[in-house]
Amino acid sequence: MTSVTTRPRRRLAYTLDVKGSPYIYIAPFFLLFGALGLFPLLYTAYVSMTDWNLLETTRQWVGFENYAELLTDDYFWNALFNTVSIWLLSTIPQLLVALVVAHMLNRSLRARTFFRMGVLLPNITSIVAVTIIFAQLFGRDFGMVNWAIQLVGLDPIDWQAGTLSSHIAISMIVIWRWTGYNALIYLAAMQAVPDHLYEAATIDGAGQWTQFWKITIPMLRPTIIFTAVVSTIGGFQIIAEPLLFQSGTGNPTGGSDRQFQTVGLYLYEQGFGLYEFGYASAIAWTLCLIIVVMALVNFSITRRIKSG
């Protein structure tokens, strides 16, 4: 169809289209992401080396001083302790319960979609709404949790005041929101386990629980690693829950004695409560480093789950 004279031009257009156009398609992503995602990350490193306070309009190069100060900052270590504590208290029960729930969902069930949607519902609610609801449920005076505790004859607890009690209450928020989600991830992995493994085990006389521990768990190893690492990345960045759990919220101290201030919340207090941008950036990079280390530790621990 093409006439001889137009052919070279067409070929050029074709070559340009095939070789060049891919870059146009990926350009919006890389330009926007570079400017608003990657650049801020790198710039944080620079800001963390300065004494930069928005209110005093000071801006001075101080090298690693902020980091040195951070290492001797009691509030930082306190926040790190709280973060680890809340992370452990929320992640371990969450993943264990999720495994059991997934195991139950994996049986042949009536109303399968109904159950699946039901367990996922907490995950679509906003952290803000859920934390407000839980803060009320765990309230000292009118909270339903204390009412239930008194029913069984125990003394009511001032959940916010104690270190452990506040950590438990905050962990409950995380557990409630994420267990069903992780259960669905596990369920998907369980459905990929070949049936003949279970059939063979049943023939060999292995019971339900033996099958669960000896077949399901090992076969789910990659998925368990995945969820453990994701929970680590998320758990160490926790901010909204402790921020909103405090009554008369908006106060980023995480309780009157900082008993539930997390590292993320301390970053928020330094950065947007006191406008110490330099110091807050140093916290950000330190937190990032901790997350990477913890994710690797987690990876190597969960990798030890025996496979096959």
**Restricting to residues 253-292, which ones interact with another protein according to CB under 8 A?**
264, 267-268, 271-272, 277, 280-281, 284-285, 287-288, 291
Task: Please report, for residues 67, 73, 185, 255, the alpha-carbon distance to residue 277 in angstroms, rounded to integers and kept in the order given.
Answer: 13, 16, 39, 23
In 152-276, which ranges are continuous DSSP H helix?
Answer: 163-191, 195-203, 208-211, 217-219, 221-235, 240-245, 263-268
Stretch that binds another protein, among 72-80, 87-95, 152-160, 248-256 (CB under 8 A): 248-256
Q: Is 126 in the site for another protein (CB under 8 A)?
A: yes
Least separation in angstroms between residue 13's CB and another protein is: 8
Half-sphere exposure of residue 230, counting CA atoms within 13 Å on the CB side? 12
- Phi and psi at residue 2, in whole multiples of 5°? -70, 135
Six token digits for residue 200? 């063979």
Amino acid at 194: P
- 198 token code pair: 């279970």
Part of the chain binding another protein (CB under 8 A), chosen from 40-48, 63-71, 82-90, 152-160 = 40-48
For residue 81, the minimal CB distance to another protein (Å) is 19
Q: Smallest gap, in angstroms, from Cβ of residue 124 to another protein?
A: 5
Give the sign of the dihedral formed by CA 302, CA 304, CA 305, CA 308. positive
Instruction: Kindly indicate which of the ranges 67-75, 142-150, 153-161, 296-304 contains the residues binding another protein, using the contact rule CB under 8 A.
Output: 142-150
80 forms part of the interface with another protein (CB under 8 A): no
Instruction: For the CB of residue 11, give the shortest distance to another protein in the complex, in Å.
Output: 12
**1 alpha-carbon distance from chain centroid:** 59
**What separation in angstroms does the CA of 291 have from each of 123, 127, 251, 264, 284?**
23, 21, 25, 12, 11
Q: Which of residues 165-204 bind another protein (CB under 8 A)?
A: 176, 178, 180-181, 184-185, 187-189, 191, 195, 198-199, 202-203
Question: Considering only residues 8, 28, 153, 308, which one is a binding residue for another protein as defined by CB under 8 A?
Answer: 28
Residue 43 tokens read as 């710039």
Residue 67 binds to another protein (criterion: CB under 8 A): no
Closer residue to another protein, CB minimum distance, 89 or 278: 278
**By CB under 8 A, is residue 145 in contact with another protein?**
no
Is 209 a residue that touches another protein (CB under 8 A)? Answer: no
Closest contact distance (angstroms) between CB of 284 and another protein is 5
Q: Is residue 253 a contact partner of residue 246, using CB atoms and an 8 Å limit? A: yes
